[in-house]
Structure 1
């Protein structure tokens, strides 16, 4: 991995160009790569094209609001986001949390607030991403295990074998084909289902 690949990137979205420039300057100085947008539509395009590590979204913008933009990001990408608002309102904070925000900042923002909040949001986003990856790996493993178990049962029934001998037969088949047991099991089940759906010949 090169040094450039280690750089975290932030998408800043706010219709206040002066604030946008200030945030960009502070975060670039801290070593982040920055993309900026002054409206939700442009921000969505940048987000989908560049896939930043984190998006910082102003809640109140003309046109597409930060909440609407967050909804798009949640449905169309895996990009984590945090909100920026001039309102220190608990109801807004709750709403941001419901949308899946990994952080929340209240304007006016100063440097002492900004960097710790961004760092914490990135850490939380990394934790969530890791949990999702673990969950996907576990689901894949469970699916593979279920298919293998069903294929063993099919071989037991077809050849009147014990479970041990049926598994051995499946394992030998996977070795001879130099494929994973789960792949051979899945193919076997697919072929079996296909044969069941074929009309019987008279």
Structure 2
């Protein structure tokens, strides 16, 4: 279970005020894979980072009774001067898992070849995401936070990523951000729509998708009249 209690977050982006959470109170239940939907700029990635603990809210708190991954595919915490292998070993020590097993898993799954032993700063954005995805999936979490991760890489890697994620979710919960409704329908069984700092939860993912699509149609209509 993950509970957001009176969560608030705003910040300035290019001089404009950005509202992510407005005294938001909501709960993500155990054992569900929840699609986190919202317009571009609604703050979905920021909300995931607050849940992960990599971004601080202005007020309120995130409560949980289990372990939570960092946003899968997010590579912002990797040290640029360490190699991919060294970064993975460091993560293994932090989370108390076998360093050799995690390194072997990530090296095979990410398919980085010789780059796995080169400095992280030399990686392309796709390579960084592949390393981060492999490291995330190599550790068992009670809840995985997934942010557009299966959009990275070629078709074969996308398929492998989604297959592995589905396997992990047989025993874990998830909060998933994706613009691909096909993927959302394959992975998620519930949904939540983030709009103007508030979250509306649905037990049925199709209801959440319908709510999200209404919001998107309204956005398109307003842009045409602007």
Considering the TM-score relative to the shorter chain, is it more than 0.5? no
Larger Rg: 1
Greater helix share, 1 or 2? 1
Greater strand share, 1 or 2? 2
